[in-house]
Amino acid sequence: MPAAQPQTINSAPQYTLYHPRWYRPKVSVYWWLGERHYLKFILRELSSVFVAVFVIETLMLINGLRRGPVAYAHFLHRTQNPFVVLLNVIAMFFLVFHTVTWFNLAPSATPVRLGGKRLPDFMVSAPAYVAWIVISAIICWAVLQ
Amino acid sequence: MAEAAKEKIVIEIARYSPETDHEPHFESYEVPVKREWVVLDALNHIKDNVDGSLTYRWSCRMGICGSCGMMVNGEPKLTCATFLSNYAKDGGKIRVEPLRYFPIVRDLVTEIGGFVQKLKKAKPWLIRITEPKLSEDRFLQTPEQLDRYKQFSMCINCTLCYAACPVVGLDPIFIGPAALALAQRYNMDSRDEGSAERTAVLAHPDGVWGCTFVGECTRVCPKHVDPAGAIQQYKIAAVFDWLKSFVTPRGRDASSSAAND
């Protein structure tokens, strides 16, 4: 070891000044298009927009119900517009995608421990699926009565 | 090479020489496909027999040193654990590139200084506030306590998760999956008392809040560390910690912290 150490012991190492010319790859704006997993991630993020669409539509439905039969019939008439039907079909697809992807991710974010051991992932996501199916069935039954 | 392998495969390798090139280009090589050969064996074959200037990192060739990570057909892989025969079917090609999102030093060698700096910021070592007496049984752990962090301790710093994470590419100051998982590994360790010290770096926009839960880090991890899980678990703990800070007087609860649950 040389006797005289540089006094800047806490500063970042300076040797990078003299490194060979690194090539720094640039990330394309379309980084999410080329790869299946990235595309799935972007679609999952995008699905929240369609969740919002469904929330707004449900609020409009409740508002129509609140304001009486004429307003409700008017709301129903508007939802029969082919563009609204198409939007609803797309929104439904994204809503299911949103739900499935997040239910599948839930176990890794919230591991459940029983008796000192971590429960297998499906034991965490299965109750969510069961609750989803049961609640959907109850709503279907109530609506179709 | 006395023994002639019947099957051959074309392997395209990204070459970059800082002295002569402005950007990387691909060069093709034909290598024999032997049943037990991995991509790293093919690289060694090329370096030994075809082109000695081919530059890449490797050491243990048994999946524990974490040096030989490269992009194989666009996927971050340890090349010592990626068999040629999996790609040789139907006249397949193999394209080998340096790990994505890192600066390239030469050919397949990436610059990992930035990663090492990030790793240091996460303080991945045991931090103690109090030292038990030597006469006491120091730092005994139950199997349950070990189980809480063991998975996160398997990291070999191969940086495959950085090459998988689009956030790392788009936001270079994001501390990244491995550093966060290792911080969580020590936070979950019953012997560690440093989680409060790590909070400033972890519960930060460039820490866990930079993560958008793409989940690719977990998918590519050769050691099944699940960095994405570690980060999401820390996010939830950090929120509870933040809520707790409203009811707990400041300074009262110094040792508790996000991750100790």
Q: What is the CATH number of the domain that holds B125?
A: 1.10.1060.10
Considering the domain architecture, whether residues B76 and B117 belong to the same structural domain is answered as no
In this prediction, residue A79 carries a pLDDT of 92
How far is Cα of residue A110 from the mean position of the Cα atoms in its chain?
16
Decide: B43 and B96 in contact? Cβ < 8 Å.
yes
Does A20 contact B16 at a Cβ distance shorter than 8 Å? no
Q: Is the dihedral of CA B70, B75, B80, B83 positive or negative?
A: negative
* Number of compact structural domains in chain B: 2
Decide: B117 and B88 in contact? Cβ < 8 Å.
no
B97 Cβ under 8 Å from any chain A Cβ: no
Least confident window among A11-20, B88-97, B183-192 = A11-20
Which residues contact residue B15 at a Cβ distance below 8 angstroms, ignoring those fewer than 6 apart?
B21, B24, B25, B26, B27, B54, B107
Considering the domain architecture, whether residues B29 and B72 belong to the same structural domain is answered as yes
Cα–Cα distance, B168 to B219 (Å, whole number): 16
Domain A30-110+117-136, CATH class in plain words: mainly alpha
Considering the domain architecture, whether residues B104 and B59 belong to the same structural domain is answered as yes
User: Residue ranges of the domains in chain A?
Assistant: 30-110+117-136
Between B254 and B22, the higher pLDDT residue: B22
Q: Does the residue B213 lie in any domain?
A: yes
Q: How confident is the model at residue A1 (pLDDT cuts 50, 70, 90)?
A: very low
Q: What is the DSSP annotation of A49-63?
A: HHHHHHHHHHHHHHH
In this prediction, residue B36 carries a pLDDT of 93
In this prediction, residue B4 carries a pLDDT of 53
Q: Which residues 114-173 of B are in CB contact (within 8 Å) with A?
A: 117, 142-144, 147, 166, 169-170
DSSP alpha helix (H) spans, chain A: 36-66, 69-79, 82-109, 121-144
CA distance B144 to chain A (A): 5
Q: Does the residue B76 lie in any domain?
A: yes
Does B236 contact A110 at a Cβ distance shorter than 8 Å? yes
Q: How confident is the model at residue A15 (pLDDT cuts 50, 70, 90)?
A: low
Q: How confident is the model at residue B123 (pLDDT cuts 50, 70, 90)?
A: very high
Residues in B closer than 8 angstroms to A121, CB to CB, are none
Q: Which of B110, B125, B146 is the last residue of a domain?
A: B110
Q: Does the residue B84 lie in any domain?
A: yes
The token pair at B217 is: 């880090």
Residues in A closer than 8 angstroms to B105, CB to CB, are 19-20, 22
In this prediction, residue B261 carries a pLDDT of 46
In this prediction, residue B102 carries a pLDDT of 96
Does B215 contact A105 at a Cβ distance shorter than 8 Å? yes
Considering the domain architecture, whether residues B126 and B103 belong to the same structural domain is answered as no
* pLDDT > 90 in chain B, percent: 80
Considering the domain architecture, whether residues B105 and B138 belong to the same structural domain is answered as no
Domain holding B80, by residue range, is 8-110
Between A40 and A21, the higher pLDDT residue: A40
CATH number at residue B96: 3.10.20.30
Instruction: Give per-residue pLDDT as tens, A70-117.
Output: 999 999 999 999 999 999 999 999 999 999 999 999 998 888 888 778
Residue from B15, B99, B105, B165 whose CB has the most chain A CBs within 10 Å, to mutate: B105
Does A41 contact B214 at a Cβ distance shorter than 8 Å? yes
Q: Which of B110, B125, B143 is the last residue of a domain?
A: B110
Residues in B closer than 8 angstroms to A34, CB to CB, are 74
Q: In Å, how far are A21, B42, B65, B166, B189 from B194, measured between CA atoms? A: 39, 45, 27, 29, 10
In this prediction, residue A38 carries a pLDDT of 96
Instruction: Give per-residue pLDDT as tens, A25-39.
Output: 999 999 999 899 999
Does A27 contact B74 at a Cβ distance shorter than 8 Å? no
Q: Does the residue B173 lie in any domain?
A: yes
